[in-house]
């Protein structure tokens, strides 16, 4: 992956192409550019394989993150439902207290 660092890889690629062009014009190296073409094709195939591996790894990480987020959301929903139930219980209790207070007030008024 260090070799695949964009800046480093671009420098190596440019150096290879320039060296190949220089050797081609000065020493008649690879007169039909077949070897250079094959080397660049191999490099492109290797780059594609590396990109696929990185894409698969990224997809796996995204799947894991989505699973964790689903679990977190489920926990938050459960907590919200428990909080709602607790608040409803408090409302019910306050209504009961109010009803008892109303009955007590009516009793006290009836005593006078």
Q: Which tens digits make up the pLDDT trace of 11-55?
A: 888 899 899 999 998 988 888 888 889 988 988 888 888 889 989
Closest of 112, 109, 4 to residue 53, by C-alpha: 4
At residue 1, the pLDDT reads 61
What distance in Å separates the CA atoms of residue 68 and residue 96, rounded to the nearest whole number? Answer: 42
Average pLDDT, the chain: 91
Name the band, by pLDDT with cuts 50, 70 and 90, for residue 3.
Answer: low
How far, rounded to the nearest angstrom, does the alpha carbon of residue 84 sit from its chain's CA centroid?
Answer: 31
What distance in Å separates the CA atoms of residue 50 and residue 58, rounded to the nearest whole number? Answer: 12
At residue 110, the pLDDT reads 87
Residues 11, 2 contacting (CB under 8 angstroms) = no
What distance in Å separates the CA atoms of residue 43 and residue 36, rounded to the nearest whole number? Answer: 11
Q: If you count them, how many residues does the chain have?
A: 112
Name the band, by pLDDT with cuts 50, 70 and 90, for residue 65.
Answer: very high
């Amino acid at each position: 992956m260090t070799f695949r660092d964009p800046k480093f890889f671009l420098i190596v690629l440019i150096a290879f192409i320039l060296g190949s062009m220089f050797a081609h014009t000065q020493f008649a190296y690879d007169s039909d550019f077949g070897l250079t073409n094959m080397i660049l094709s191999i490099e492109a195939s290797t780059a594609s394989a590396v990109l696929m591996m990185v894409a698969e790894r990224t997809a796996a990480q995204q799947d894991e993150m989505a699973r964790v987020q689903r679990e977190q959301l489920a926990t938050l929903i459960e907590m919200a439902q428990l909080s709602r139930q607790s608040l409803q219980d408090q409302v019910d209790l306050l209504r009961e207290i109010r009803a008892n207070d109303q009955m007590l007030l009516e009793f006290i008024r009836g005593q006078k």
